[in-house]
């Protein structure tokens, strides 16, 4: 049974707040994620539907795409979803709508939380915005110092592009 289940069977109409915690393993995240997930869920129930807003915070140890050093990074993500019993009650084709059975007693957030944490990762994971990366010749981490390599050699294949950049 998931630790991220919210009992909706006896919810009264109105707004309800839930603070939940889970380990990365409990939601299916890999070993890069090191801290417990903090989940804040706000449910707004009406007679016909249930709207849920979820905020997620965690952190992990990642490898920088430029310098290959490991670093810790905070991850924040969130989403909103409308839970309805009848698809026809919803106007339009909204991807933030999920069908639930009329006799559903619980809503399990684990899979949605896992997906949104992963989607919260940047495409290019950098230890810092101005990461200098590695020297292409000797492999030195240029964040730690300069190397003596001469990387200014002109490559004739790029000469036309260099002219454009100088203009």
Using CA atoms of 56, 84, 10, 38 in order, give the dihedral in degrees to the nearest 10.
0
Q: What pLDDT, on a 0 to 100 scale, did the predictor assign at position 166? A: 78
Instruction: Assess contact for 8 and 107: CB atoms under 8 A.
Output: yes
- Which alpha helices (DSSP H) does 10-167 contain, by range? 110-119, 159-166
Q: What pLDDT, on a 0 to 100 scale, did the predictor assign at position 36? A: 95
Question: By mean pLDDT, which of 43-47, 85-89, 112-116, 143-147 is the weakest?
Answer: 85-89
Q: What pLDDT, on a 0 to 100 scale, did the predictor assign at position 87? A: 62
Examine the pLDDT at 32 and tell me if it is beyond 90: yes
Q: Model pTM?
A: 0.77
Q: What pLDDT, on a 0 to 100 scale, did the predictor assign at position 89? A: 56
Dist. CA 113–CA 6, nearest whole Å: 13
CB atoms within 10 A of CB 57: 17
Q: What pLDDT, on a 0 to 100 scale, did the predictor assign at position 29? A: 95
Q: What percent of the chain has pLDDT over 70?
A: 90
Residue-wise DSSP of 13-59:
SEEEEEEEEE-TGGGT--TTB-S-EEEEEEEEE-SSEEEEEEEEEEE
pLDDT single digits (tens) 64-106: 999 999 999 999 999 999 988 776 655 555 568 888 877 788 8
Instruction: Assess contact for 53 and 113: CB atoms under 8 A.
Output: no
What residues have CB less than 8 Å from 74, skipping those under 6 apart? 57, 58, 59
Instruction: Assess contact for 133 and 67: CB atoms under 8 A.
Output: yes
Q: Residue 27: which pLDDT band, with cuts at 50, 70 and 90?
A: very high
Instruction: Assess contact for 37 and 105: CB atoms under 8 A.
Output: no
Q: Where are the domains of the chain?
A: 5-131, 134-167
Mean predicted lDDT score pLDDT of the chain: 87
């Amino acid at each position: 049974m998931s630790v991220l289940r919210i009992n909706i069977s006896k919810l009264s109409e109105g707004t309800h707040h839930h603070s939940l915690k889970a380990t990365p393993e409990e939601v299916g995240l890999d070993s890069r994620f090191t801290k417990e997930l903090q989940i804040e869920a706000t449910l707004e129930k009406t007679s016909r539907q249930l709207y849920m807003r979820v905020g997620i915070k965690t952190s992990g140890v990642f490898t920088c795409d430029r310098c290959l050093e490991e670093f810790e990074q905070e991850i924040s993500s969130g989403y909103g979803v409308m839970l309805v019993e009848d698809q026809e009650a919803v106007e339009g084709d909204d991807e933030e709508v999920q069908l639930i059975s009329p006799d559903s007693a619980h809503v399990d957030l684990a899979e949605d939380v896992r997906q949104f944490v992963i989607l919260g990762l940047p495409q290019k994971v950098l230890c810092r915005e101005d990461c200098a990366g590695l020297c292409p010749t000797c492999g030195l981490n240029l964040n730690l110092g300069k190397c003596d390599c001469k990387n200014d050699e002109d490559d004739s294949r790029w000469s036309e592009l260099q002219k454009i950049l100088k203009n």
